[in-house]
Amino acid sequence: MDYKANVTLMTKPGSLKGVASVSINEEFVVKGLRIYEGENGPFVSMPSRKVGENYEDICFPITAEGREALHSAVLEAYEQKLTQQEEQTNEEGKNGKKSGSKKSQKQSDAPKADENGEEMSEDQEEQTEAGPEMSM
């Protein structure tokens, strides 16, 4: 069987690290597989529903070989997505340092505005009015 997985990473803190959908032989799709971080590394949880106080898988592989192939495809897609995200973050960090200095420079070059939104000339100083003092 041919398994192709697509993973969406989760950004919230906790053990849930991603959600996946898997295409089987490009004929059947299973959505809602969850990737959790466990004590022994990431693992895949099949889509389930709550029945009483227990959860039951909605769909699942019947054989151990099928389960292993499905989980391997999902975890491989998960690791690939993590690598892509890490590379993207590194690229943004490199680009952010270069453009970050320009950005702060642009903000300091912007004319100041008073409380009414009117621009002040460079030789005008911002004036603040002191309110009445309160004593107790």
Which residues lie below 8 Å from residue 95, measured CB to CB, with a gap of 6+? none
The per-residue pLDDT for 129 is 46
The encoded tokens of residue 5 equal 């997985």
Q: In this model, does residue 40 exceed pLDDT 80?
A: yes
Tokens coding 60: 């699942």
Distance of alpha carbon 62 from the chain centroid? 33
Looking at residue 3, its amino acid is: Y
Question: 74, 43, 48: which is closest to 59 by C-alpha?
Answer: 48
pLDDT band (50, 70, 90) for residue 56 = very high
Tell me how far apart the alpha carbons of residues 111 and 99 are, in angstroms, rounded to a whole number.
Answer: 20
Strand partners, 6: 21
Q: What is the pLDDT of residue 99?
A: 53
Three-state secondary structure call for residue 34: strand
Query: Domains along the chain?
Result: 3-91 (3.30.1120.40)
Torsion angles phi and psi, residue 105, rounded to 5: -70, -40
Mean pLDDT across the chain, nearest whole number? 80
80-101 pLDDT, tens digit each: 999 998 888 888 878 766 555 4
Residue 34 pLDDT > 50, yes or no? yes
Residue appearing with tokens 């192709």: 4
- Residues 66-85 pLDDT 10s: 999 999 999 999 999 999 98
Q: Which amino acid is present at 61?
A: P
Strand-pairing partners, residue 55, are: 50
